[in-house]
Chains A and B, each alone.
Chain A
Amino acid sequence: MAAATVWANVQPPIVGAGDASVAATEPYDVIVVGSGAGGGMSAYHLTKSGLKVLMLEAGRDYDPVAETPMYNINAEAPLRGASTPDKPFGFYDATVDGGWEVPNEPYTVAEGSEPFIWWRPRMLGGRTNHWGRISLRFGPLDFKPRSRDGLGYDWPITYDDLAPWYDRTEKLIGVTGAAPPRGLTNTPDSPPGCLMESPPPRAFELFYARAFEAMGIPVVPMHGAVVTEAMEGRNTCVFATPCGRGCAIGANFQSTTVLLPPAMATGNLTIRTNALVYQVDLDAAGKAKGVTFVDRRTGEHHSATARAVVLAAGSGETARILLNSKSAKFPDGLCNTHGMVGRYLMDSVGLNVTGQFPALEGLPPTNDDGMSVEHTYVPWWGYDRHKELGFPRGYHVEIGGGRQMPSMSIARLMGDDASVGDDLRAGLRQRYGSVISFNGRGEMIPNDDCYCELDPKVKDKWGVPVLRFHWKWGEAETRQAAHMTTTFLEVIDRLGGKPVGEVERDGRKAISKGGEMIHEVGTARMGASDADSVVNQYGQAWAVPNLFVTDGAVLVSSPDKNPTLSILALAWRSSDHLAQSAKRGEL
């Protein structure tokens, strides 16, 4: 039976709504704040280890089986599914409650800062419901950037420390990309048995690969969190609908279909939704005794208690909870004695160039739906050339194209032409599927100008201070962005195509906004000592030993590889440490 089917029959119990204290009726071992990649994985492992867990999720309950619009076409949706401020990634995107702007929960950007935007859903499973499913391991160099070239900071762990947890995570969630080992620099090959077959490259993927290969750049199977081979408790992909809508059959990785159902099945998990946690509470000895939250529907404030607290609310929200947890011992926020909370905020560098290719025009009609995630991608190829390139860190390339289900932007195929009738129909048929979009995703080096703090004035609807962001891309990033443009234009040229629209060659102008790649990480980083980090290598707070962080906040660097797989692997490793401590009676 599919995991998703099990989930359909499990209603997350709403615990003591209206009670002054949830914990008055139920002693919990661990409170997990957040239900996305970090929170979902933490709850999965802790409940399987026999610990009683209360999960507090700020968003509403969400049922992917009933709510996912799997085969609906754009004609059925308002505005043909086009993006609006209410649904910025299109009507069918799984995200609940706005994404860039959540009702009643503002954030601010400091005066003089470069733009920063912050994507938040308010739903069980968080961003794992809509994410891009790209699941690339960080490589050995990614954990020791400072040792490599003096820039950024080293992690307190190595690739080898995390590798077994990557293996486990890939086997649990289902990831494509199985291929003979390539041994590419800093692009780990997973051991046999970890990955599933990627579907064959589509026509446009075979096409672009030839240009990259002519430039000496390898193209390899994408690692996507999509099930393509028979797997216990999971359905396989039906190669039909976009993963961003979520998946009603649980064929891709979502916390709500893969992690929470088995956690619920242990009988050890209680989930309370609409619980917006804003404070970690301490006992007289300075240990965490629980958290305080507001019920978003009633506006009532509640406290819950447990023997340990895990924060996995997302890097921004986790930092906000710590900063709002003020006490005599921590007047500037919990674990913030050295001013480290909110610091070293990072995102990925993002840049897009799109091309149109006569050589792809009028290909015989074919089904290009694929597994939604790209079937192939281009890992960073210039590790030994950074000196001559003039920027220190690299990027990988995510490439979209093919005969996708038409959307409202389909008329762009015709450019400035003013044809009508038969000419218009013929032109559209001819050019349909001939556009390829090249998207660079690059490493960002943490810098002193990128951080978040509490806004001194602005509060959310319930009176809790909100985050104020500060952002400034460094030259390492803007030069890298400029190189993306140069590379993509060369690829487009080699393939006989033309760029679509104006191409901005100034990396400073072409680079994405801070936060726009939705890879914001690093606000409570791990480290080797309490002087330069908030948590240790297990996500355990230096200042409060029974407080853990298991989301992207703990990341020390932001390699080009998308962070979710690493967040999952780290959360599993940290949760195991927590569970072992509990078994030894150390909580």
Chain B
Amino acid sequence: MNQAVTQKDGLPDPLTTPLDQLDVADPRRFEHDTWQPLFERLRRESPVHYQSYGPGGPGAEGDFFSITRYEDIVEVEKNWEAFSSEPSIAILDPEPDMSVQMFISTDPPLHDDQRRAVQGVVAPRNLQEFEVLIRQRTQETLDGLPMGETFNWVDRVSIDLTTKMLATLFDFPQEQRQLLTHWSDTATSDARITAGRGLSIDERRVIMIEMLEFFTKLWHQHKADDRESFDLIRMLQRDPKTANMVDDPLSYMGNLMLLIVGGNDTTRNSMTGGVLHLHNNPAEFAKLKANAGLIPSMVSEIIRYQTPLPHMRRTATRDVELNGTLIPKGSRVVLWYVSGNRDSDVIPNADQFIIDRPNVRNHLSFGMGIHRCMGNRLAEMQLRIVWEEILQRFDRIEVMGPPVRTCNSFVRGYHELPVRLHPLT
């Protein structure tokens, strides 16, 4: 009997199947949370690993290299001239007519200009202004939760809070904020990376145009109402280098998508992941209960352990050798942060969730180098506030059943996490 197809995810055994028959980007390993053994094997046997076909298996377009060790990922991130972020930071090239331009997929100098224009929004000085508002909204959301009954944490807390925050960042009408979630989900639901469960090109195009129209209107409204506000749109309008971005719809839409996805999926799934990881590691939760001062360190550990964005892609601009393997010019190079974050050569006991580990901030979830996450401080602040407020209200959050995970190799997250709250005694 062939053992190779008895895996829980229905995929070939990651340890005994020849490597060239394994699709590293198969989203089902993330859906079933069975991705670890394959990446451990790659780190050991083939840390710079070439796959001759794209996501979807043999015959699929989009061959790529997988980089899985921590140190190699940092090397690639450093060398942005040899490993360009153009034309795409997703494994697959942009779809025809969907080649929107976002600064995450550009190189300097354009990248630096556009990034600097919005960076101030999430600079810690501006964050202090936002902190009161975020705490207020967090308290409202948590106070509205049912005690002692099972509900979906993802909908009631993670999505609710991150969407309110995004609306605040854009000065977007709060009563229509669910549109932001809808657009964010659309942006990452490419059927080509979700085992066919996402949306087609045409479906996505219609929704993206709807988003562009809404935001174009919002741009002009903000322009007309030129008050002192540190929202992202007014920041773009104030900077001479991006003041006319609305006239370049592909660039405007691309950067909106970047900021919406960047501020949404990541924080949302870390908010859910934290609840799950603490439930699964009761000794760590006990440490937290005994010392709330561990919250900032725990937040970094949650972000590492969750790695809400499992990978980013670069493209080789010339032949370049990495860790003894030649990567030819034009190759797609996929940096598996999710694997580097479990590389025990750099992070001791990397598969364990330890909220007070030494050097807890040294993880790859935000990326490294010039494309390093711009909103990292905002994300950390949001998570810190959520946990501060949780500890003041609940004795614990009990997970009542297995989570429903996203079937996606670009977003490692959750659709559902059934939980029950226990009141403080």
Partners in one complex: no
Residues of A whose CB lies within 8 Å of any CB of B are none
